Amino acid sequence: MTTPPEDETRTGQSRTRLVIDTDGGVDDAVALLYALARPEVDVLAVTCVVGNVDVERAARTIRALLDLAGAKDTPVATGTAQPLRGARALNRWYGDHGTGYAKLADSTGPVDPHGVETIVRLARQHPGELNLLALGPLTNVAAAVLVEPELPRLLRSAVVMGGAYTVPGNEGARSEFNIDVDPEAARIVLQAWEHADGAIPLTLVGLDVTQQASLSTSDVASLIRAAGVEYSEEDAATLSGEVAHPLCQFLLDGLRHACESAERTGGEYAAVLHDALAAVALVEPQVISTRATTVDVEIAGTLTRGETVADWFGTWGRRPNAEVALGCDVDHFRNQLTASLAKLLSSATG
């Protein structure tokens, strides 16, 4: 298990310098809000990648969400516009805008078109101090590695939401969505870490644990009320209705869509927050338990393209490149996520 990625400032207060790479879905938004809520985390930039939605749409969503959350000064940048192998149809799991039923006002804030360069620049600017949270396909991270092969050694830590290691996939039979969108990029990233002497292994937070990381309607209602917002029991049953708090309304509308999507695919009416677990795991690694191994990605299989293959018993004879999450303290995750978000919501006026 990895140690908390904390850095010391000149004042002696521990800080976590962070860049988030995202494809702009509902769970990405919750993960971003969690990071903003944590007082020890400095979100230095948010870079956007194609995945749930196109990269420009993702950037507009993230820019507007930062504005709504009172983080207008956080830089946003667009990265790669299509997977390495070329364009593919978007999944639209979270709707055309990636935010489910939630609506955000268009932001006039700036968006930098140099997302890959932003990752590289920040890693060089903060060698051994920058933490990377990758919440979408790994296209931007792969491009950054190709620009700066030293990236694995420059980063303090890298947490990736992606893969399925002991469970079925959610996009292909054996592939998880983020990896399935761009398997070639994922393979570049995994092999870069494998060949980087002295680099901290990637932390891979996949479906094995993220499918447990859900919030029930009562969890969400309690969160809204903890922020001091009135919310009726009747509306809370399905996360419907309106509240007099724009950021709470955004969460309700986005999470209601997530609940409906989970129910349509045979799950409970609850919001599964894959990316939020990865964010919590970066700040509080004890929320997951991991096992070190070597991971590679199948890019040629007719039935298994995009599968993340873990060499649990070392048969390849290759250097371990990852700590794969296999266990999750779900109660700790929920408590930490909702407590942090409640503080942010209490201070945000929209």
Tokens 């799950």 -> residue: 267
Q: Residue 245 domain-assigned?
A: no
Q: Residue 258 domain-assigned?
A: no
274 given a catalytic annotation: yes
Predicted pLDDT at 90 = 65
Predicted pLDDT at 282 = 98
* Phi and psi, residue 180, nearest 5°: -65, -30
For residue 47, the cross-strand partners are: 21, 77
Predicted pLDDT at 91 = 63
Domain count of the fold of the chain: 1
Domain that holds residue 38: 10-210+275-324
Q: Residue 330 domain-assigned?
A: no
- Choose the catalytic residue: 97, 126, 245, 274: 274
Q: Residue 340 domain-assigned?
A: no
The pLDDT > 90 percentage for the chain reads 88
Pinpoint the alpha helices (H) of the chain. Answer: 26-37, 55-68, 115-125, 139-147, 151-154, 177-181, 183-194, 207-210, 217-226, 233-236, 246-264, 274-283, 330-347
Cβ neighbours of residue 267 closer than 8 Å, sequence gap 6 or more: none
Q: Residue 197 domain-assigned?
A: yes
- 246, 229 Cβ separation under 8 angstroms: no
Q: Angle, to 10 degrees, between the axis of helix 183-194 and the axis of helix 139-147?
A: 50
Helix H or strand E encompassing 289: strand 288-297
- 114, 122 Cβ separation under 8 angstroms: no
> Residue 29 belongs to a domain with what CATH number?
3.90.245.10
How many angstroms separate the CA atoms of 224 and 221, rounded?
5
Q: Residue 315 domain-assigned?
A: yes
Q: What is the pLDDT of residues 164-210, one digit of tens each?
A: 999 999 999 999 999 999 999 999 999 999 999 999 999 999 999 99
- 350, 247 Cβ separation under 8 angstroms: yes
Q: Residue 73 domain-assigned?
A: yes
The residues of the chain scoring below 50 in pLDDT are 1-13, 350
- 53, 24 Cβ separation under 8 angstroms: yes
How many angstroms separate the CA atoms of 205 and 60, rounded?
26
Closest to 80 measured CA to CA, from 48, 112, 110, 53: 48
Closest to 309 measured CA to CA, from 322, 295, 299, 290: 295
Q: Residue 30 domain-assigned?
A: yes
- 300, 85 Cβ separation under 8 angstroms: no
CA dihedral 129, 135, 140, 144 (to 10 degrees): 20
